[in-house]
Amino acid sequence: MRTARFIAGRLLSMVLVLLIVSALTYLVFFLLPSDPAQLSCGKPCTPQNLAIARSFMGYDEPVWRQYLAFLEGIVRGRSYGTGPAAIHCAAPCFGYSFQLAAPVTQLILSRIPVTFSIAIGAAVLWLLLGVAAGVSSAVKRGTLVDRAAMALAVGGVSAPAYLVGLLAILLFGFTLNMVPVNGYVALTENPVQWAWHLVLPWCVLAVMSAAVYARLTRAQMLDVLGEDYIRTARAKGLREWRIVGRHGLRNVLIPVVTLFGLDLGQLLGGAVITERVFSMQGLGALLIDAVGNLDLPLIVGITLFSAFLIILANAAVDLLYGAIDPRATA
Amino acid sequence: MKRHGVTGVVAVTAALALAACNANPSGTASAGPTGAVTKGGTLTILTASTNLNLDPAKSQNLATTTLGLVLRRLTTWDIQPGKPATVVPDLATTTGTSSDGGKTWTYQLKDGLKYADGTPITAQDVKYGVERSFAPELSGGLGYHKGLLVGGDAYKGPYTGGDLASIATPDSRTIVFHLNKSYGDWPWIVSTPAFAPVPKAKDDPQKYGNDPVASGPYQVDVNQQGSVLRLKRNPYWDAKTDSVRTAGPDQIVFQLGQDTTVQAQRLIADSGKDKDAFGAGFVPPAQLVQIEQNPTAKSRLVTSDSGALEFLALNTTRGALSDLRVRQAVEYAVDKKSVQVAAGGPIGGDLATTLITPGIAGRVDYDLYPAGPDGDVAKAKQLLAASGHATGLKLTLLVQDDDLNLAYAQAVQQGLQRAGITVTIKSEDEDAWVADATGDKGDYDLTIADWQPDFPSANGNIEPLFGSSEIGGGGFNLSRYSQSQADGLIQQATGETDPAKAQALWAQADKRIMQDAPVVPLLYTKNSFLHGSDVQNFFVASFPAYPNYLKVSLTK
């Protein structure tokens, strides 16, 4: 009963947050001094052509009415135009991209495999690298290992993704010819090529994000290693790896998991720069194009989807707390 | 017309074919390796675009790029390096027979034309293709015909509006267009994408752009949005009926969404399949510098002779700028050399003096304000003094906020400062700039823009920028220039159906307008492209300043 109420509460707050996000995105978009209908107007864009395009896209309505039509489309689906050439967007319709001539839902679904492939692989890699480097640094505090790991971490945190990506392409792709420089192969098409094309983006993202995790893990681990119960464990004669791995790491993981949940949620919404550099057409690339083309339905759709993923990741983190630290559910 | 160019052009003339098989002839910046067309291989085109919609009604493609590989139109362009672009028949037997003083145009389709599915191409299909371009569901394409065809203003397309009576098809090979005014450039208009045939039975407005029924040498094999567009041969295309497409490669693969920097790096590296590739986008300035240091890559860099006209528009309705002498002073004060430096030097563009750009038939080269490359400050000051603005003249310059436009703006600002004109730069993103510069209000003194016609006629250089009807309301008469004599010349030249006479009238209009100094022509910009070492017949002519996809082939 308690769990059911918890889940119902989370769902309700999730819907509320998504409503606020969509309303704000609509509002911000309409405050911009641009006219999205102009891009679909054709050339020459006469006032008459512009009015036709605006009316067909529904941009001639007041913003609140457009927003309500958008919400209604999610529940009941939507049609644009009349007659045999009318565009039908089935529920749940998150709008229709006139630039790409496809429903937003379909566009988002088509890009998910690319972004999820990049994000999940990179996340696993950076979590392993970051936590391992952080733990080693803490255990070997003050040694060369510690300093080298932290120096690398500072470098990773400071480096811009675009630069690291391009340098990695130049070095490993063009100079050493070790990996493909860009492009994406679907997992279902060829799993080996899928992984092979993703190695470089995974590594670039992992090196940069692992840095944050290394620093966080190190700081947490140092705190934990100074706790009384660790001293007790040592006094009992437990081996060091057991103390660090079983008693230390468990406590360190709580903030790491929190951060990981948020980072992963954000990345699943689109690794904008990485996708661009490696010419992979995921959600990030779709969003950038949508912003450039003033493609309002697509911007709102992707923003909502990204917000949904972050909220979902947060909920997953909450559930994980209980598994890692039973005190959290007590 | 276009603010940013599109297309490209190549041409393999018989002479070039005979000269054959070797690298860039020295001094011919606009030509890549040339040779007889070798059939076979897979040509790869790297593009930053993530979505190539092949629906002719929605397309703004010029005749010599992507859409031209798949769809033929009534007429098309013959473009060769060093020669002005000409209009030539494509599906039709001629570029058009006019009657009724240029208000009626008749075309006959060539014999034996077939689609990729083996069915015959009919005049009714061309009519239907034009009609569907009026549908609001398919807006976004080039629509110069919409305001010219009788009844076009009120027509809503075939899905809800029936057929358009001003297009007649007395038989399956004849199509007749009735215009509401004499229009000498109609042969160019029917080279735009909407004049490609669309069989009514195959039309699904929402999906047609993914895989249109091909009339050109290639048809869609695979079209994955965001990833790849692969074209294969159309077995029913007959080379004997087509004078401009060489159809060298067996397959053409567009790799979509390619970052322009990575594109350039891949082509510089020139390894593996990238030897059979070229980049559809301009080479970024940083890679241009890199290529300059790399002789192998440099030999594969192709730079156009000229592209769009980069110009400074002077708002003729505003304060001091309504005085001709002040505008003339600006003509003399601008430092075009600095603008050229901002463009990256001579590789970025040549100094401009005329409105009609190089490569357009009938262009006459002249300079009404001979001030030298860096301007004539003394002459400018003299004109300002005569107009009563010797000191204290302040102007606002509206400009797009990208690096290049800002660099142009600063060069203009510094040039005018020398004559005592204080320029305040107001930068905006592209959409806001378009809204403000082409809106009704016109709240600016100066603005910088570039312009390349959508079809290579002097009409495209002049009317959209200087016709009174193009002021505000989305029009590109950014100088808000309205002059009855110029309008009269434009009207006369537009209605002239004899190309030679029309060209002479456009040249006359060019000079007449510049006498009023509504704009300062700054540069004829150039575009640079890079191709792999196995790519052949890759040229960029004067107009348009883009490679001609229809002629490119592979060496093996």
Looking at residue A259, its pLDDT comes to 85
CA distance A63 to A27: 8
Looking at residue B108, its pLDDT comes to 97
Looking at residue A318, its pLDDT comes to 78
In this complex, is the C-beta atom of B284 within 8 Å of any C-beta atom belonging to chain A? no
Quote the Cα angle for B366-B369-B372, to 5°: 95
Looking at residue B35, its pLDDT comes to 64
What ipTM was reported for this prediction? 0.74
**Which positions in chain A touch B147 (Cβ < 8 Å)?**
44, 46
Could you tell me the end-to-end alpha-carbon distance of chain B, in angstroms, rounded to an integer? 38
Q: Model confidence over A73-116: pLDDT tens digits?
A: 989 988 887 777 788 888 889 888 888 888 999 999 989 999 99
pLDDT above 70 (res A39): yes
Mean pLDDT score, A38-67: 83
Residue B205, CA distances (Å) to A86, A87, B136, B211 in order: 9, 9, 11, 11
Residue B162, CA distances (Å) to A83, B131, B205 in order: 12, 9, 16
Q: What is the mean pLDDT of chain A?
A: 83
Q: Model confidence over A185-232: pLDDT tens digits?
A: 888 888 998 998 888 889 888 888 888 888 888 888 888 888 888 888
In this complex, is the C-beta atom of B272 within 8 Å of any C-beta atom belonging to chain A? no
Phi, psi of B89 (to 5 degrees): -65, 145
Looking at residue B6, its pLDDT comes to 31
Dihedral angle of Cα B348, B354, B358, B363, to the nearest 10 degrees:
180
A–B interface: beta-carbon pairs under 8 A: 137
Bridge partners for B349 per DSSP = B525
Looking at residue A105, its pLDDT comes to 92
Our CA-based measurement puts residue A163 at a distance from the nearest CA of chain B, in whole angstroms, of: 12
Taking CB atoms and an 8 Å limit, are B143 and A44 in contact across chains? yes
Does this model's pTM top 0.90? My answer is: no
CB distance B214 to B143 below 8 Å: no
Our CA-based measurement puts residue A204 at a distance from the nearest CA of chain B, in whole angstroms, of: 16
pLDDT above 90 (res A61): no
Looking at residue B34, its pLDDT comes to 59
CB distance B178 to B194 below 8 Å: no
Looking at residue B178, its pLDDT comes to 97
Mean pLDDT score, A11-34: 82
In this complex, is the C-beta atom of A47 within 8 Å of any C-beta atom belonging to chain B? yes
Residue B152, CA distances (Å) to A125, B123, B131, B157 in order: 60, 19, 9, 9
Instruction: Name the residue in chain B with its Cα closest to that of A177.
Output: B271
More confident residue, A301 or B430: A301
**Which positions in chain A touch B55 (Cβ < 8 Å)?**
101
Instruction: Name the residue in chain B with its Cα closest to that of A165.
Output: B262
Strands B446-451 and B167-171: what pairing? unpaired
Our CA-based measurement puts residue B358 at a distance from the nearest CA of chain A, in whole angstroms, of: 23
Instruction: Give the up-direction half-sphere exposure of residue A98: CA atoms within 13 A in the CB hemisphere.
Output: 29
Our CA-based measurement puts residue A47 at a distance from the nearest CA of chain B, in whole angstroms, of: 6
Instruction: Name the residue in chain A with its Cα closest to that of B209.
Output: A101
Looking at residue B72, its pLDDT comes to 98
**Which positions in chain B touch A111 (Cβ < 8 Å)?**
226
In this complex, is the C-beta atom of B6 within 8 Å of any C-beta atom belonging to chain A? no
Mean pLDDT score, A61-82: 87
Taking CB atoms and an 8 Å limit, are B265 and A34 in contact across chains? no
Taking CB atoms and an 8 Å limit, are B146 and A49 in contact across chains? yes
Instruction: Please state, for a pLDDT cut of 90, what percent of chain A lies above it.
Output: 4
Taking CB atoms and an 8 Å limit, are B435 and A81 in contact across chains? no
pLDDT above 70 (res A3): no
Nearest-CB residue to B262 (from A100, A182, A286)? A182
Instruction: Name the residue in chain A with its Cα closest to that of B142.
Output: A43
Per-residue pLDDT tens, chain B, 556 aa: give them: 444 433 322 222 233 222 222 223 233 334 455 567 889 999 999 998 888 889 999 998 889 999 999 999 999 999 887 778 899 999 999 999 999 989 999 999 999 999 999 999 999 999 999 999 999 888 889 989 998 999 998 898 999 888 999 999 999 999 999 999 999 999 999 999 999 999 999 998 888 999 999 999 999 999 988 789 999 999 999 999 999 999 999 999 999 888 888 888 889 999 889 999 999 988 887 788 889 889 999 999 998 877 789 999 999 999 999 999 999 999 999 999 999 999 888 888 999 999 999 888 889 999 999 999 999 999 999 999 999 998 889 999 999 988 889 999 999 999 999 999 999 999 987 777 887 898 888 999 999 999 988 888 899 899 999 999 889 877 899 999 999 999 999 999 999 989 899 999 999 999 999 999 999 999 999 889 999 999 999 998 878 888 999 999 999 7
CB distance A33 to B435 below 8 Å: yes
In this complex, is the C-beta atom of A18 within 8 Å of any C-beta atom belonging to chain B? no
Our CA-based measurement puts residue B159 at a distance from the nearest CA of chain A, in whole angstroms, of: 6
Q: What is the largest CA-CA distance in chain A?
A: 85
Looking at residue A330, its pLDDT comes to 53
In this complex, is the C-beta atom of B422 within 8 Å of any C-beta atom belonging to chain A? no
Bridge partners for B423 per DSSP = B395
For B:13-72, CB contacts with A below 8 A are: 50-51, 53, 55, 58, 60
In this complex, is the C-beta atom of B159 within 8 Å of any C-beta atom belonging to chain A? yes
